[in-house]
Amino acid sequence: MGALFDYLVFPLFIPFILLWLLAARLLSFVAPLLVPLTWSLAARLSWACPFIPRIWELNGWFKGTLMRMGFEWTYCMNVSRRFLTLPLRRRTADFYIVGFPKAGTTSMAAYLKLHPAIDGIDGLPWHETLEKESHHFQGALGRRAAASKLAYRSYFPTVLRRWWVERVRRAGKWLCFDACPVNACLDYTAARMAAFNPDAKLIFMLRDPVSGAFSAEIMLRNLGVPLSWSLMEDVRPADPRFAETPADVRYWEQVAALGPKDVLPPDLMHRFYHDCYALLRSGRYADRIAPFLKHFKRENCMFISFTEFCSNTEEVVRKACEFVGADPSLLHFCTLPPGMQGERKGRRMHPSCKRKLAQYFAEPNQRLYAMLGVDFNWADPEALGRSHRDAAAFMAPAPQPSYPVGSGLDGRSGAEVGLPPLPPGLHPPPPAAGEGAGGAGAAKQAEQQQQRGGSSGGSSKGSDSGSSVVSVTASSGRTAGPPALATVV
Proportion of the chain above pLDDT 90, given as a percent: 68
Ranges 39-43, 195-199, 357-361, 399-403: which has the least confidence: 399-403
| Residue 196 pLDDT class (50, 70, 90 cuts) | very high
Q: What is the pLDDT of residue 344?
A: 81
Q: What is the pLDDT of residue 243?
A: 86
CA 319 – CA 338 distance, rounded (Å) = 19
> Which tens digit of pLDDT belongs to each residue from 4-15?
898 999 999 999
| Residue 238 pLDDT class (50, 70, 90 cuts) | confident
> Which tens digit of pLDDT belongs to each residue from 351-386?
999 999 999 999 999 999 999 988 888 864 333 444
As a whole number, mean pLDDT of residues 430-450 equals: 40
Average pLDDT, the chain: 81
The reply to whether 51 falls in a domain is no
Q: What is the pLDDT of residue 371?
A: 93
CA 293 – CA 282 distance, rounded (Å) = 16
As a whole number, mean pLDDT of residues 303-314 equals: 93
The reply to whether 389 falls in a domain is yes
CA 72 – CA 44 distance, rounded (Å) = 11
As a whole number, mean pLDDT of residues 383-392 equals: 38
- Number of domains making up the chain: 1
CA 420 – CA 387 distance, rounded (Å) = 19
Check residues 253 and 394 and name the one with the higher pLDDT: 253
The reply to whether 201 falls in a domain is yes
CA 415 – CA 238 distance, rounded (Å) = 13
> Which tens digit of pLDDT belongs to each residue from 103-133?
999 999 999 999 999 999 999 888 888 899 9
As a whole number, mean pLDDT of residues 379-405 equals: 36
The reply to whether 367 falls in a domain is yes
As a whole number, mean pLDDT of residues 339-359 equals: 87
The parent domain of residue 342 ranges over: 85-429+438-489
The reply to whether 134 falls in a domain is yes
Q: What is the pLDDT of residue 213?
A: 95
Q: Please say if the pLDDT value at position 182 is more than 50.
A: yes
Torsion 198-146-149-162 (CA) sign:
negative
Q: What is the pLDDT of residue 91?
A: 92
- Polymer length in residues for the chain: 489
Q: What is the pLDDT of residue 346?
A: 85
Ranges 145-159, 164-178, 373-387: which has the least confidence: 373-387
pTM of this prediction? 0.79
The reply to whether 19 falls in a domain is no
Query: DSSP assignment of 122-173, as one string?
Result: S--TTSGGGGT---GGGTTT-TTGGG-HHHHHTTS--HHHHHIIIIIS--SS
Angle at which helix 285-295 crosses helix 351-372, to 10 degrees, equals 30
> Which tens digit of pLDDT belongs to each residue from 205-221?
999 999 999 999 999 99
SS3 119: strand
Q: Please say if the pLDDT value at position 235 is more than 80.
A: yes
CA 424 – CA 401 distance, rounded (Å) = 14
The reply to whether 73 falls in a domain is no
Q: Please say if the pLDDT value at position 454 is more than 80.
A: no
CA 468 – CA 361 distance, rounded (Å) = 14
* Residue 250 Cα distances to 244, 268, 289, angstroms: 10, 13, 19
Domain at 101, CATH number: 3.40.50.300
What phi and psi, each to the nearest 5 degrees, are found at residue 99?
170, -170
Q: Please say if the pLDDT value at position 194 is more than 50.
A: yes
Letter string b/e over residues 103-135, b meaning 16 or more CB atoms within 10 A of that residue's CB:
bbbbbbbbbbbebbbbbbbbbeeeebbbbbbbb
> Which tens digit of pLDDT belongs to each residue from 18-49?
999 999 999 999 999 999 999 999 999 999 99
As a whole number, mean pLDDT of residues 235-246 equals: 89
The reply to whether 158 falls in a domain is yes
| Residue 1 pLDDT class (50, 70, 90 cuts) | low
